[in-house]
Structure 1
Amino acid sequence: MADETHLIILRQGVEAWNRWREEHPEILPDLSEAELRRLNLRKADLRGVNLHRAYLREADLSWADLRKTDLGWAEMVHTNLRGADLREADLRGVDFRGAYLGWADLREANLANAFLGEATLHRAYLNEAILRGVVFRKTDLSGAYLEEAKFLNARQIAQVQTLYQATLEPGLAAKIKSLDPGLFEKPGVNNAAAGEEEQAGDG
């Protein structure tokens, strides 16, 4: 269960939270199972925080620092994680249904058994991420970087909505093309994420 003191500080706002973390680098906050739905956590310093099984539905975590954070089995339905730094995070079993992870950095994160149905990972970095058992149903992986992703197979990723301009290992890409070559084609005009030209540096 979450530490009530840590919750109180977090709910004072990102500025107060980040200042507290800077003043107390020795403390690893416990926000496990915390109710954080729709909370504005944009650019929050959540490095190494225990957010195991936290409720983050529709929260704004854009550009947040989530390196090595424990988010195992958290609820992140329709959560905004645009540009978030999730390197080496524990994301096992997370429900990312409909979440936005455009430009997010998930290198070396553990996403085993995560659900990414209808999520957007446009230009996301998934290099060396553990993807065993991940569900990619109708996921937007346009422009995503998947080189050296671990435990990823063709039938698993063939569930996605699009792989337009995605970067994969050549052998895996060939297998996916044999299953559904259309996944690598430019999506229709209705796919806004794949067609957007905005820059990642607007954070």
Structure 2
Amino acid sequence: MANEDHVRIVWEGAEAIAKWRSQFPGERLDLSNAVFIKHEAEDAITPDLEDADLSYAILTDAILENVNLKSANLANANLRNANLRNAILSSSKMEKVDLSSAHLENAKLLYTELSGARLSNAKFKEADLRHSLFIRANLNFADFTDSRLDKATILGANIEGADFNGASMSEIYLSRSNLKDADLTNTNLRKSELSNTNLTNTNMTQADLSEANLIGANLSGVNLTKTVLLGVRIDSSTEISSVYGVIGCEVDRYTLEYLSSQDNNLTSGKMMDMNIHDDLATLKSQFGGFWGGIHLTSIILFLSPYIWFLVSIRPIAEFNLSTKIASAEVMRIFEYLSRTSQSEPQLIYKSMTLFEALVRYIWSGGVDWYGACKLNLMSFLAFYFFLSYNMFRGMLLWKTKKLETIETVTKLPVLFSLNHLLIDFSHNTNPATIEWGRIYFRDLLNKLKITKISWGDCLYLVNKGVWVYLLFVLYNTLHFLTMEILI
């Protein structure tokens, strides 16, 4: 039973505990079976133990439901079978704590240190453990049903037989751990780090492992029914054998090559039950062969008026306005300048750079660009849209050709996913390629909450923008055909 004096001190809060520790250094708080909740009328009263030092305390079978233990020190404390439902334990220090068979349903343990903790059979159902740290912890048969473990770190831990059904574990670092016989049904493991992890006989039914790192992992005997394995990192060190239940498994062609090469049980019949994604085939069907030629021709046609303009205006820069070998376009400009300046043609030396001329041409839609140069809004918006659209289209054409070349030369499937990033503005991982974007577009992207653009996003924009593109083509065609010319 608990020491009543110790219970009273804990009810008084963190300062009283600190004072007691200074008076009795080295003595352990005996709070076993203590109840830290009082019901008065319709209210439940609990002590405020934020920042409290409860290290080495004996709290077996204690009731700490709804108690605020934020930033508390519970290192080496004994909390076996304790009731911590709805407790606030965020940022608390719980190294080597014993929480075996403890109840932490719906508890908040964000940024909590649980390295070396004993958590076997602990109940973490619907608990929030985001960003928490578990190094060499014992989590055997723990219940993490519907919990949140996003961006948590679990390294070298023993998690055999644990239940993660419905848990959110995106971007979790779960390397070099033992998850043998664990239940990962309906678990979100997107972008998780599972390298060198033992996943033998785990149930991954309806789990999402998109873009997870499975290099060196052991997936022998796993259940992959309706599992998502798109864009996962996998190589020859990944052990895959005796896989069962592959019906509805979503897998890309690259990963399937490894699955079929290592698992003799994965017959053609079983593969027919899988949902096989081939993002390269998707890209080639729209930007390879005949359609690639169509896209390339369209881009050339978009550029041709501006190339023609520069070619026709080149004599002004190459020679002089007084020369007699200027083109018809040059002579029209020459005559206009002559009239407006009220001077003889050969005496006019008014000039501008080719770049300025091109900008004025785009700004005015080609109408009176060398004169008043008024904004032609529709034409300018059309140019801006065409430029953006064709930039994305050009990048997709380049990517398709590059992947086709690699596949032809190596005669092996290439690792490609439409989820792979085209541009990443969130952090400067490649200054040579994204610094320009960071300088000129960072503020705009932040306002639009856009930090990353994937190849899939690029393809989506091109496919959805085609109708707008055709409307602008129709408008530009009518605009071109109704332009007045000198005769």
Query: So what's the TM-score if we normalise by structure 2?
Result: 0.35
Task: Give yes or no for contact 1:37–1:55 (8 Å, CA) kept in 2.
Answer: yes
Spell out, residue by residue over 1:23-42, the C-alpha distance to the aligned partner (whole angstroms, 9 max, x if none): 63453311111110000000
- What are the residue-to-residue correspondences of 1:29-108 with 2, within 5 Å? 29-108=57-136
Q: Distance in 2 between matches of 1:3 and 1:51?
A: 16
Which runs of 5 or more structure 1 residues have no equivalent in the other structure? Answer: 187-203
The sequence identity of aligned pairs, in percent, is: 29
Corresponding residue number in structure 2 for 1:121: 149
Corresponding residue number in structure 2 for 1:172: 217
Corresponding residue number in structure 1 for 2:158: 130
Alignment size in residue pairs: 184
Which runs of 5 or more structure 2 residues have no equivalent in the other structure? Answer: 29-55, 196-214, 233-418, 420-487
Residues 1:182 and 1:74: Cα distance change in structure 2 (over 3 Å): same
Corresponding residue number in structure 1 for 2:174: 146
Task: Give yes or no for contact 1:106–1:129 (8 Å, CA) kept in 2.
Answer: yes
Q: Distance in 2 between matches of 1:43 and 1:184?
A: 38
**Following TM superposition, by how much is the alpha carbon of 1:63 offset from its aligned partner in structure 2, in angstroms?**
0.5
Task: Give yes or no for contact 2:81–2:99 (8 Å, CA) kept in 1.
Answer: yes
**Which letter maps to 1:130?**
N
Whether 1:181 aligns to 2:207 is no
**Following TM superposition, by how much is the alpha carbon of 1:165 offset from its aligned partner in structure 2, in angstroms?**
1.6
Residues 1:171 and 1:21: Cα distance change in structure 2 (over 3 Å): farther
Q: Distance in 1 between matches of 2:21 and 2:193?
A: 36
**Following TM superposition, by how much is the alpha carbon of 1:158 offset from its aligned partner in structure 2, in angstroms?**
3.5
SS at structure 2 position matched to 1:106: strand
Residues 1:50 and 1:5: Cα distance change in structure 2 (over 3 Å): farther
Corresponding residue number in structure 1 for 2:7: 7
Task: Give yes or no for contact 1:21–1:45 (8 Å, CA) kept in 2.
Answer: no
Spell out, residue by residue over 1:103-122, the C-alpha distance to the aligned partner (whole angstroms, 9 max, x if none): 11111110111000000001
Q: Which has the higher strand share?
A: 2
Corresponding residue number in structure 2 for 1:196: none
RMSD: 2.7
Structure number, greater radius of gyration? 2
Q: Distance in 2 between matches of 1:183 and 1:120?
A: 22
Spell out, residue by residue over 1:136-178, the C-alpha distance to the aligned partner (whole angstroms, 9 max, x if none): 100111111111012x14x735414211121012243877795
* Larger RCO (CA within 8 A; separation ≥ 6): 1
**Which letter maps to 2:133?**
D
Q: Which has the higher helix share?
A: 2
Match of 2:140 among 112, 115, 118: 112
Q: Distance in 1 between matches of 2:19 and 2:109?
A: 22
SS at structure 1 position matched to 2:9: helix
